[in-house]
Amino acid sequence: MWRNLENWEHIIQKERKNKILLVQHLGEGNMIDDNTKESLVQSAMMKKKIKRTEARAMLLRSMMDRNAERVTRVVVKVAARRLY
């Protein structure tokens, strides 16, 4: 998983580019309003007994999966932290 520093630098650069695309994608592709998003996060927290950040990351991942987007886990986690 932690191969080398160059690999992580590449992923971070890729993440910076993807963040902009990700925000646009979530804004246009998934017309989910904040209330719906929040209720999905709440239900995930209750059912799985997980923290809010993890629930948000799960929601983001599932939204990405539904639209067949290929995003690395690192990008999803970082983007989830920045979007919420």
pLDDT at 52: 74
Find out whether 17 and 31 touch, Cβ atoms under 8 Å. no
Considering only CA atoms, which of 64, 72, 71 is closest in space to residue 26? 64
Helices 34-48 and 52-66: crossing angle in degrees, nearest 10, is 120
pTM metric for this prediction: 0.35
pLDDT in tens, 39-75: 767 777 777 777 777 777 777 776 665 554 444 455 5
Domain ranges of the chain: 23-83
CA–CA distance, 67 with 29 (Å, rounded to integer): 8
pLDDT of residue 13: 64
Please give the angle made by the CA atoms of 76, 60 and 25, to the nearest 5 degrees.
85
Rounded average pLDDT over 28-37: 57
The answer on pLDDT for 37 being more than 60 is yes
